[in-house]
Structure 1
C-alpha cells in the first residue's frame, strides 16, 4: 500500500504531466516532483481543443482565457457547403478552445527545469510517471519501437481573423481546421509531405479557406506521427501516460485530452499495489477506440471526390445528435 509520503516523479511538464501532478496532490500525495528537460515551461501560442470529457476533470479557472465555440462544422472544400454541424453545447461541461501555453500556465505547479531524464534509474522515486510525449525517453523502458510517420505534415498559425466556432474543411488529400482562441483564430493545415507549397495545394479551394491559408505566411510545419499501440504501458516502477504511451494523430483532437483523462484516472489508483495494471485495464479499451478513430482520419478526411467521398458526407450528415456522446460525455 502506497502512502501520501511516497516519492513520485512526473517526467514532462506538458499538459499531461502537469495534470498528473495536480491530480496526485489532490489525492494527498505530498512528495511529487515534476521534471522538465527544457529550460522553461513548454509554451506554445498555438491552439488546443479541450472537449468536455477532459474539461470536466479540470478546475474551471484554467479556462479563464478560453473560448467556448457553440458548434463544429464540417464543410466541403470546393463550395464551402456545410456537410454536418455538431452541437458542442449539449454537454454539461463546455467545449473549450485556447492557446496551449495559456493552459500550461494555468496548470503550472513547481517544476524542476533543465532536467532531462534518460531512464527511471536517474530518479530516486518509488513511482515514475512518464508524461514526456511522443519522443519519450521513458518509453524505452517498455518498448524499442520508433514513432511512425503518417506521410502528412501540419502547418499551424494564429491569424487575425474572426470566427466563433470550430470549422473543418475536408478536401482531396488535405484538410483545414480553424477555431477561435485569444487574440485570433488558430488555423491548422494538414497536407501531404510532398514538398508542394502550402498555398499551391489549396489553389482550387473555396475563397473562405483560401483566405485563412493566405494569412499563414511562413508558418512552421511538423511531421504528424504516432506509434503502434503498446502491448503494455508499464514496467517496474514506470507507467506511461498520454503521448508517451499512446500518441495519436490529431484528427479527433484527443491527444492532450486523453493525457488529461489518463492523469485523472491514474492518481486515485496509486495507493493500490497493482495500481498500474488497474489503470491500464480501465483506460485501454477507450484509448484504443479513440486511437483507431484518429488513425482512420488519414483516409476519411482526405478522400478524393467520388463515390467514397459522397458516402462519407452522407454518413456525416445523417449522424444523430448523440453520435459523439460516447467520446465527449463525462465518464463515458
Structure 2
C-alpha cells in the first residue's frame, strides 16, 4: 500500500512518520518550497507530544519547546482572577516542531513546491493526485492534511460553511530575558472585563515568548494588509490601559514578523472520507483557537488513522472506524471553542471565577453519571487521625462498590479551639502527640505527632473551611486537596492553618487558587457553618461518622474506625443484590489511579502482605515509577504515573 499525503505541516509529517515506522510506503507533498514560520507557536498536550516522542525514540533529536505548568488569568488592571496548575502542556515554536519532524523524515519521500489541483480517478477511486506544477503522484490511499482551507476537503466533500469572523488575533514572537525569568513556565493572560479584548503571553524558551492579542472586530479592526508600523500602533492603542508587562513585551517585538489571523470554524463533518481519500487535522475539523487543541488533535488524528489502517484490511472500514473514534472529542472542542468565544465577546455576562480554562485535563469517573442506590454522608475533619487511617477503606469501597455508592463529604468541626476542648484524655495540644503515635502503631499508617509539640494547630476550622472552598470548585479535586493537606499535616508536620500552605495545596492539585482564596474568605465560611449545623442535627458526636441511606430511606450509621467487612455488610443490608466489582491490583494500575499511597494502603488495596509490598515498592522506586517522602513513622509513596 502506498499512501500519498497532501500537506507537509505537523499533521502530514506526523502521519508520514507513523506510517513509515510501520513499513508503509508514503510520500508527503508540500506546496511551499521552504519551511514557513507562519503560526509562530502553539500549546500541545501530552496526548500529542508523547506521540512525537515515540517517533524519535532511537535518535538524538530532541523534542523542542517549553513545559507550561500554570495558567494565570488577570483583568486588564492586573488583578488576578484565576491561577491554576496545568498538567502536561508544552509550548512549541511552529518552525522548531516542523524542523523536528523534517529532521526525522526521509528527504526523498518529501516533495515540495506541490500545490494540489485535483484527483485523477479510475473506476470511481482516486489513483493519483495532480498538482498545479504539472507533477502527478500515484498511490492507493490519499490523505488531505492541507489545513483549514483544505482543497482536498472541497474536492471530495464540497465546500463547508464557515462561521463569520467575529474575533481576530494578532500573533507574534519576541525576546525578553527579564520577563523570561519572572514568567517562566506560566501562560499569562490579561482580559478586559468590559469588551472583547485580551492579551496572552506564553514562554517558548527561557527568554522567548509567543504573544497574541485577541479582539472583537465589532469594536475595532486593522486592515489585513497594514504595514508593520500600523499594526504596532493598532496593538499599542488597543492595549494602552493594560499592565506595564504588556507594553514591555511589545516593545521588543518585530512587527514585520507578526500577522493578523481571522478566527473561524465549521461544524462537525458527517464523515472524514470519500472512497480512498481521507482528511486529518484542520482539513477534517477546525475549532476556534480559544481551545488550544488544534495541534494536539492533528497529531491524535495521525495516530488513530495509522492504527486503523494497520488493524483493518478494508480501507473504507478503517476510515469509518477512525471517524467513529475521533468524532466525539472533535465535536466537544468545536462547541467549547464557540462557548469560549461567546464568553470573550460578552465579558460582562460572566464572573471571572466562572471563566472556563480549557487547558485542564481531568480523568472521567466512569461511575459519576450512574444513579447511586446508596448515599453516604461522611462527616470528617482534616486533623482527625482516625479519619486519616480509614482512607484505605474508603478507597477500596469506591473501587469495589463505586457503582452503588455516592459519598458526600461533610466537615465535622473537631477542634473549634483549645479554650474549651476536652475529649477523653486530650485537653491540650501536647496530649495529641502520644495519641497519634498510638494510632500509628495500631493501624500501621504513618503519623508524626511531633507537630503538636513543635507547631500546634489552634483549630481545625481553617482547613475545614478550605475544603469547602475547594469543594465549591470541583468535588473530585476537593478530595485530592483534602488528601494533600492531610499528608502535609500527618507526615510533613506542616501547620495547615496557614493560608500560604492551603493555597499551595489547592494549586498543586489543579484547583484555581485565586478563586479558592476568594471563596475561602466568603462563601466557604457559610458552607462550613451549614455542615456544622447538619452534624448537630444528625447528632454526630464521633469522627468519622458515615451515614448510609438507600433509596427506600433505610439508614445505617457507622461510627469511629470499623473494619472493611463491616462496611461491606452495611452495603449488602441496604442493597442485597449489590455485586462487588473486581479491580486491577497491578501496582502500575494502582499508582495510576492514586497519586499517593502509604505502604499499608498499597498492601491493603493490592491484597499483598507487607513483605511482598515492601519488595514491590522498593522495585518501583528503583525503576523511577514512584518517589517517596520518609516521615518519622513511615513512608508516603508518590506516583509519577497518577492521572488526575
Q: Tell me the TM-score normalised to structure 2 length.
A: 0.46
State the distance in 1 between where 2:287 and 2:353 align.
25
State the distance in 1 between where 2:303 and 2:119 align.
22
Is 1:88 aligned with 2:86? yes
Is 1:276 aligned with 2:319? yes
Corresponding residue number in structure 1 for 2:202: 179
The superposition leaves residues 272-314 of structure 1 with CA deviations (integer Å, 9 ceiling, x where unpaired) of: 211000000001001111121122221223433x452356259
State the distance in 2 between where 1:118 and 1:147 align.
22
User: Kindly tell me: are residues 313 and 192 of structure 1, through their superposed partners in 2, closer, same or farther at Cα, counting changes over 3 Å?
Assistant: closer
Corresponding residue number in structure 2 for 1:119: 118
Cα contact 1:303–1:309 (8 A) shared by 2: no
Corresponding residue number in structure 2 for 1:129: 143
State the distance in 1 between where 2:91 and 2:216 align.
26
State the distance in 1 between where 2:200 and 2:95 align.
19
What is the SS of the residue equivalent to 1:268? helix
Corresponding residue number in structure 1 for 2:354: 312
After superposition, the CA RMSD in angstroms is 2.8
Corresponding residue number in structure 1 for 2:188: 167
State the distance in 1 between where 2:343 and 2:160 align.
26
The superposition leaves residues 158-207 of structure 1 with CA deviations (integer Å, 9 ceiling, x where unpaired) of: 12222311112222201122111135111011112332622222222232
User: Kindly tell me: are residues 48 and 41 of structure 1, through their superposed partners in 2, closer, same or farther at Cα, counting changes over 3 Å?
Assistant: same
Is 1:105 aligned with 2:99? yes
Report 1 or 2 for greater relative contact order, CA contacts < 8 Å, sequence distance ≥ 6: 1
> How many residues are paired up?
316
State the distance in 1 between where 2:45 and 2:302 align.
16
Corresponding residue number in structure 2 for 1:260: 299
Q: Where does the alignment leave 5 or more consecutive residues of structure 2 unmatched?
A: 121-128, 130-136, 223-233, 359-469, 478-508, 513-640
Which of 166, 171, 175 is 1:156 aligned to? 171
Question: Shift of the alpha carbon at 1:235?
Answer: 0.5
Corresponding residue number in structure 2 for 1:16: 11
Q: After the TM superposition, which of the residue ranges 165-174 and 128-137 deviates more from structure 2?
A: 165-174
State the distance in 2 between where 1:311 and 1:66 align.
30
Corresponding residue number in structure 2 for 1:285: 328
Corresponding residue number in structure 1 for 2:538: none
Cα contact 1:10–1:129 (8 A) shared by 2: yes
Corresponding residue number in structure 2 for 1:3: none
User: Kindly tell me: are residues 85 and 119 of structure 1, through their superposed partners in 2, closer, same or farther at Cα, counting changes over 3 Å?
Assistant: farther
State the distance in 2 between where 1:265 and 1:331 align.
21
User: Kindly tell me: are residues 55 and 117 of structure 1, through their superposed partners in 2, closer, same or farther at Cα, counting changes over 3 Å?
Assistant: same
Cα contact 1:14–1:42 (8 A) shared by 2: no
Corresponding residue number in structure 2 for 1:50: 44
Cα contact 1:127–1:238 (8 A) shared by 2: yes
The superposition leaves residues 223-271 of structure 1 with CA deviations (integer Å, 9 ceiling, x where unpaired) of: 1122232121110111111100101111111111100010011001114
Is 1:139 aligned with 2:165? no
User: Kindly tell me: are residues 267 and 48 of structure 1, through their superposed partners in 2, closer, same or farther at Cα, counting changes over 3 Å?
Assistant: same
What is the SS of the residue equivalent to 2:68? coil
Q: Where does the alignment leave 5 or more consecutive residues of structure 1 unmatched?
A: 1-5
Cα contact 2:64–2:100 (8 A) shared by 1: no
Q: After the TM superposition, which of the residue ranges 156-165 and 39-48 deviates more from structure 2?
A: 39-48
Residue pairs, 1:210-289, within 5 angstroms = 210-216=247-253, 218=255, 219-271=258-310, 272=312, 273=314, 274-289=317-332
- Structure (1 or 2) with the larger CA radius of gyration: 2
> In proportion to residue count, which structure has more helix?
2
State the distance in 1 between where 2:511 and 2:157 align.
35
Cα contact 2:201–2:209 (8 A) shared by 1: yes
State the distance in 1 between where 2:349 and 2:149 align.
39
User: Kindly tell me: are residues 58 and 42 of structure 1, through their superposed partners in 2, closer, same or farther at Cα, counting changes over 3 Å?
Assistant: same
What is the SS of the residue equivalent to 2:215? strand
